[in-house]
Structures are given as structure tokens and as C-alpha cells.
Structure 1
């Protein structure tokens, strides 16, 4: 089983890549965390927002494995505590399918992509910089994994 972060956008600041890479490196071999970047639709094209999100959705669909659990990151998604995310992680591992966490572009995700997801997750009720999602999600997944292993990284 793999954990995939499929994110719209590339050429992130170095701190974004460093943060994501740090927690991806810490994940165990049996649960690798991989980033797949897809190109954002140029916002200067004059296209309607819906058309830009649809183009990004098509790029996302093209890189998703044929059989994977889709979890979209959305501001209206469900809140999860670290303990709840750890329980979900264990359940996903039991199912054995790859899990793809899908991060939209500046305008979010196309409704069709949201509808195809098994779950919707919100990282925070705060408005955060888009780039912060990658390292924040990577850390949350690493922390959840440590909870499942009674590792001392997470403390209540």
C-alpha cells in the first residue's frame, strides 16, 4: 500500500519540498508517501473557473492509479483528530488499496472529482497558504502512523 499526495501545482518554494520530503523520508518502507504534482491551469487564460478546474481534474484523473481510495482535501471536509486519522490509516492498511489524497489548485477541485472521492478531509478551519498543505498533510500522516505504532513522536 502507498499513500499518494496528488497536488495541483509545481515549482513550490524550497521550504514546501523540504517539509514534505522530511516526513515522506520518515515513513516506513511498507507505507511509502509519494508526491505527484500536476500542472495547474494558467489563471491568465481568461477561461471560466469551472473550465480551469475541469482541466486540472482531467490531469489528476490521468495520474491516479486505477484502483485507489480517493480522499479529497476540501475546506468543507470532515475534521479528524490525530487519533481518528490513525484509525483511518489502520483501516486503509487493512483494505490494502493505495490511498490518494487529492489537493486542488487555487480554485479548489472540480465537483466531479469531489463526487468521485470516498472521503473528504479538512486539515484546518483556518485559511492557510495553499503551499502549506503538502508539508502539513505529510506531517499529519506521519504522526498518525506513529500513533498506530505507539511511537513516542506523538504525545497526548
Structure 2
């Protein structure tokens, strides 16, 4: 199985990079894993709705460049479906993982995902109705994928 995680922004905190590296190493024993970071756009203080829309659109364009037409896409979005680990496991395992088939998880920036990215998603997934830092979501996602793939 090929799993790609496309995420907005770089991880600056060493403890998060270490956790990502550890979970990625464990997961890579069972799947072909690719982590792609796209640049996050600076959001001015007191940004207008229009500015936020433009920022999400620009980040969205960068994300979509990394998604093949044949990929099955999970977009992490607060308004998505809250699934248990077992439900996500069933969803992933139900996909046809033929040669070259790719599963992509998308983690947006601090403003969330553009409507174009959300439209491209096959499944909108929420880990909680609470808001988590997008950098931390990489660790949480990789931990859950390890539970799903390694069990």
C-alpha cells in the first residue's frame, strides 16, 4: 500500500519531528510512506475573510499538485466525519490497493483547507470537534495509521 501525507507547513519543534520520524519508521516497514510538506502562507494579524480565502486557495493549489487523479483522498477537516480507529481501519482496508494505488491524507494549515481541496477529498475525516495544532495532527495521524496498519 502507498500512503502519502500532504501537510501544510514545516515542523519546527524537535519533539514533534522526533515523534514523526519514529512513527514514520515503524509505518514504513509495512507500507510505502511519503511525507510531503507544502509551504504555509503567512497570515497577517486581523486578516480579512478575503485574505484568509486567498491564503487557503494558494495553499490548496500547492496541495493539489501532489495528488494523483487515481488517489483516494482523506482530508482532515473539523467538519468531517468523526470515525473510530476501527472505522478508519475498515475504510482504508476496503479500498482497492492495486499496483500504484495511493491513499493520501491531507492536513491543512492554521486556516484549514480550501474548498477545492475539500471538493477533491473522497472522505472528510475529523479526529475531534476540537481544534488541534496542524503540526501535532501529523503525529496523531501517524500514530493512528500505525495502529491500523500494524495490527
**Is the partner of 1:48 in helix, strand or coil?**
helix
| Separation of aligned partners in 1, 2:140 and 2:11 | 17
Which of 132, 144, 151 is the matching residue for 1:128?
Answer: 132
Matched residue, 2:52: 49
- What's the TM-score, normalizing by structure 1? 0.84
CA shift for structure 1 position 30: 4.6
How many residue pairs match? The answer is 146
CA deviation string 1:106-131 (max 9, x = no partner): 11000111011100101123222222
Aligned 1:15-54 pairs, distance under 5 A: 15-44=15-44, 48-54=51-57
| Separation of aligned partners in 1, 2:150 and 2:30 | 13
CA shift for structure 1 position 135: 0.4
| Separation of aligned partners in 1, 2:112 and 2:37 | 15
Moved over 4 A (4+): none
Gaps of 5+ in 2: none
- What's the TM-score, normalizing by structure 2? 0.87
Aligned 1:1-156 pairs, distance under 5 A: 1-44=1-44, 48-92=51-95, 94-96=96-98, 97-147=101-151
